[in-house]
Amino acid sequence: MQNSKKFYIDGAWVDPVVPATIDVIDPSTEQIFATISAGSKADADKAVAAAKAAFTSFSQTTKQERLELLKRILAAYNARTEEFGKVISQEMGAPLDMAISDQAGIGTGHLAQMIKTLEEFDFDYMQGQTKITHEPVGVVAMITPWNWPINQIASKVAPAIAAGCTMVLKPSEIAPLNAILFAEIMHEAGVPKGVFNLVNGDGPSVGQVLAEHKDVDMVSFTGSTRAGVIVAQSAAPTVKRVHQELGGKSPNIVLRSADLKKAIPAGVFHCFNNSGQSCNAPTRMYVPSEKMDEVIALAKVAAEKVRVGAPSDANTTMGPVVSEVQYNKIQELIQSGIDEGAELVTGGTGRPAELNSGYYVRPTVFARVQQDMRIAREEIFGPVLSILEYDTVENAIELANDTEYGLASYIQGDLEEARAIAPKLRTGTVRINRPDWDSAAPFGGYKQSGNGREYGLFGLMEFLEIKGILGYEEA
- pLDDT at residue 292, as a whole number: 98
* Closest listed residue to residue 367, CA positions, set 331, 335, 338: 338
Integer CA distances (angstroms), 1 to 187, 191, 198, 213, 331, in order:
16, 21, 15, 30, 33
Write down the pLDDT at residue 1: 72
Per-residue pLDDT of the chain (475 residues; tens, 9 = 90+): 789 999 999 999 999 999 999 999 999 999 999 999 999 999 999 999 999 999 999 999 999 999 999 999 999 999 999 999 999 999 999 999 999 999 999 999 999 999 999 999 999 999 999 999 999 999 999 999 999 999 999 999 999 999 999 999 999 999 999 999 999 999 999 999 999 999 999 999 999 999 999 999 999 999 999 999 999 999 999 999 999 999 999 999 999 999 999 999 999 999 999 999 999 999 999 999 999 999 999 999 999 999 999 999 999 999 999 999 999 999 999 999 999 999 999 999 999 999 999 999 999 999 999 999 999 999 999 999 999 999 999 999 999 999 999 999 999 999 999 999 999 999 999 999 999 999 999 999 999 999 999 999 999 999 999 999 999 999 8
For 250-309, the three-class secondary structure string (H helix, E strand, C coil) is CEEEECCCCCHHHHHHHHHHHHHHHHHCCCCCCCEEEEEHHHHHHHHHHHHHHHCCCCEC
Whether the full predicted model's pTM is greater than 0.95, yes or no, is yes
User: Is 251:404 a contact under the CB 8 Å cutoff?
Assistant: no
Of 276, 311, 280, nearest in space to 88 by CA = 311
Residue 174's CB: how many other CB atoms inside 10 A? Answer: 20
Specify the amino acid at residue 106.
I
Collapsing DSSP to helix, strand or coil, 130 comes out as strand
Q: Residue 79, class by beta-carbon neighbours within 10 Å (0-12 exposed, 13-18 middle, 19+ buried)?
A: exposed
* Active site residues per annotation: 245, 279
- Please work out, in degrees rounded to the nearest 5, the angle formed at the alpha carbon of residue 30 by the alpha carbons of 226 and 35: 80
pLDDT for res 467:
98
What's the order of all strands across the beta sheet hosting 450-451? Answer: 12-14, 7-9, 196-198, 166-170, 139-143, 218-222, 241-245, 450-451
Which domains, and CATH codes, for the chain?
7-246+449-469 (3.40.605.10), 251-439 (3.40.309.10)
Whole-number Å distance between alpha carbons of 179 and 102:
16
Closest alpha carbon to 472 in 130, 126, 123: 130
Question: Of 362, 390, 385, 389, whose CA–CA distance to 375 is shortest?
Answer: 385
